[in-house]
Structure 1
Amino acid sequence: MSTQSQTNVTIGLGFLERVMLSTLTTLPCCVFLFINGTMLFTLRSKLVFCETSRYILLYNLLFSDTIQMSLSQLLYLLSAWRLRLTYPVCGLLVMFAGLTNEVSPLTLVVMSLERYVAVCYPLRHATIITIRNTAVAIIVVWAFCSLNVLTRVLLLLDFPFSDLGSLQMTDLCNSLVMSIGPMSDIYDKAYTCFLFTSAGVAVISSYIGVVIAARSASTDKASARKARNTLLLHLVQLGLTFSSTIYTQLILLISNTVSRLVRVRMQNFLYVVFFILPRCLSSLIYGLRDQTIRPILVYYLCCRLTLSPQSRLRPKINGVN
């Protein structure tokens, strides 16, 4: 949806303006992609990360967010420079973007449930949250999202592509262009509402369960407090992910009240806030809060440079199995 309102904004912009807009969005995107990529490499650098369920779930979340960020920026640049694609290529990009966008909230739900089990059922946590069960949960998440993509593809079959003189698109590539027909529009709105409502209920229920368990005398207070804060952050992530669905409507509302230049600036700012920043939030949250990940992530972010004030960092990293 980020590209539909960009269509009208980029009309009449000069070369330097296009370069400036593209740079202002691409630079933070590249920075966040570097952070996410470093985080993904970190989660595969030590055995402890590969054999712990919550780190495996985090890897899946970061992977989908990184792909989504890359595709969003690609579609944004194609729109900013008014480059038109063919229907098959556009459909493929939109479907992959939609798939990864839906994997993130469902992965947050699984991560919230894992924290709920860890606090409320600590003695059974190792039995319930196993590597095998975590792998099954990830497969189910991707399969469910893939089924939704397949449903959208089937809805596209009603469109008479054979009547088109060419598969070259006359409009810029975006998700709304590929939602052809009223049934596609109704299905997209219903599915989005169902997805985020269900995810919100699951995360909030997990949070309430952790809060109630924290009052029990047998519960580890520090662990419960940390899990509660993590669930709150998951709720914020879910809200930011959902906010991207109202981006187009917000831009259209702003366009009626401000000048074109102000609209362009606000649009780029909101694009970074709604589409780019939420995809890097997971790396910042876990990379800075998790005591196991933090030293290794800082080590790799600094390109494996060990400065004198950080001379103690290398032994600590090598001590992680």
Structure 2
Amino acid sequence: MAGNNSVNYVFLQRPVDDRVIIAQILVIIFLCINMLLIVIFIKKESFHTSARYILFFVTLLSDSVLLLVSNVLLILTYFEITMSVWLCITISVVVLLYFIVTPVTLTAMTLERYVAICMPLHHGQLCSTRSTMYCILIIHGVSSGPCIIILSMFFASASLKFYKQSMICNVEAFTLYRWQDHVRSAVYQCYFLIMGITIAYSYVQIMKVAKAASGEKKKLTHKGLKTVILHAFQLLLCLIQLWCPFIETAVLQIDVRLFKNVRYSNYIVFNIAPRCLSPLIYGLRDKKFFLVLKNLMPTSSFTCHFSGRVYT
């Protein structure tokens, strides 16, 4: 009972800021869109045999989990609610893992488009359902690398007293020394450099095919190029998010109020925004998803509004 009273006291003492409300509205909107597309994928069996749709499903789940957990941490941090270190470690494992799962999956989706356009005869074999399942396991294995490194450095450096404390949970709390921050940044930038090179290589190869193609093939390759560009843009936003802590630290030394504004802007632009692009890339641009959405919402205005934007 005393715990409930203390929580109520915190909420009464710290009224909800307008920016927090805006963040909640955006998160709810994007979660609802993601859930709608997830339900469509589950119900439509034809999606279950396509590598691109299976990987798209993985990004939807990853983005939804990350949005939900990071938003909970935002609320807990705003109201300065503490928790045990071990609970925070468990939550941080989810955040660290799914922060990387989405860009790694985007890279895999780009490679799938590369195979489909540049190696069409091998696409059925390389991008079969079984191969895609193995690919998902590899994606999660590769994505767990930074999480293992960050937590290993923390476990090696933290004293036993630290684990008995209560803390306001955030991933930065596990960076006890400056060198750990540098190692974390180096690992992330190495990951994103490899993914960036992979996407750039795929773009160049698809561009070569597009120049030599004609008719329906040319139309398909141009759509593939647009998809690769959008994936590259998502990856860029995720990469910029890695630099945000350095920017926020420098701003904090100048002005606390400016620091809060910068941190809020970074959360909206580089945390929420990259996670809402996947539904736009595949959910609204894809003909199959559009047709299912049209059946769910058979309003004439909806059909008229999007009919000119559907891609085959």
Q: TM-score range by the shorter chain?
A: 0.7 to 0.9
More helix by share: 2
Counterpart position of 1:10 = none
After TM superposition, the structure 1 = structure 2 runs for residues 99-248 of structure 1, keeping only pairs within 5 Å, are 99-164=97-162, 167-169=164-166, 171-181=167-177, 184-217=180-213, 220-248=217-245
Distance 2:261 2:157 in 1: 36
Contact kept in structure 1, 2:14 and 2:79, CA below 8 Å: no
After TM superposition, the structure 1 = structure 2 runs for residues 1-321 of structure 1, keeping only pairs within 5 Å, are 15-16=14-15, 18-164=16-162, 167-169=164-166, 171-181=167-177, 184-217=180-213, 220-254=217-251, 260=257, 264-297=260-293, 299=295, 304=296, 306-307=298-299
- Please, what TM-score do these two structures have when normalized by structure 1? 0.82
Distance 1:275 1:295 in 2: 30
CA separation of 1:129 and 1:305: change in aligned 2, threshold 3 A: closer
- Please, what TM-score do these two structures have when normalized by structure 2? 0.85
Is there any run of 5+ residues in structure 2 with no aligned partner, and where? Answer: 1-11, 305-312
176-185 or 187-196, which moves further after superposition? Answer: 176-185
Q: Shift in Å at residue 298 of structure 1?
A: 5.0
**How many equivalent residue pairs?**
292
SS at 2:34 equivalent: helix
Contact kept in structure 1, 2:248 and 2:263, CA below 8 Å: yes
Counterpart position of 1:319 = none
Q: Shift in Å at residue 265 of structure 1?
A: 4.4
153-162 or 27-36, which moves further after superposition? Answer: 153-162
Higher RCO structure, 1 or 2 (CA under 8 Å, sep 6+) = 1
CA separation of 1:127 and 1:160: change in aligned 2, threshold 3 A: closer
Across the aligned residues of Structure 1 and Structure 2, the Cα RMSD in angstroms comes to 2.6
Deviations 1:175-196, CA, capped at 9 Å, x for gaps: 1111234553343122101110
Identity, % of aligned positions: 26
Q: Shift in Å at residue 243 of structure 1?
A: 1.6
CA separation of 1:190 and 1:137: change in aligned 2, threshold 3 A: same
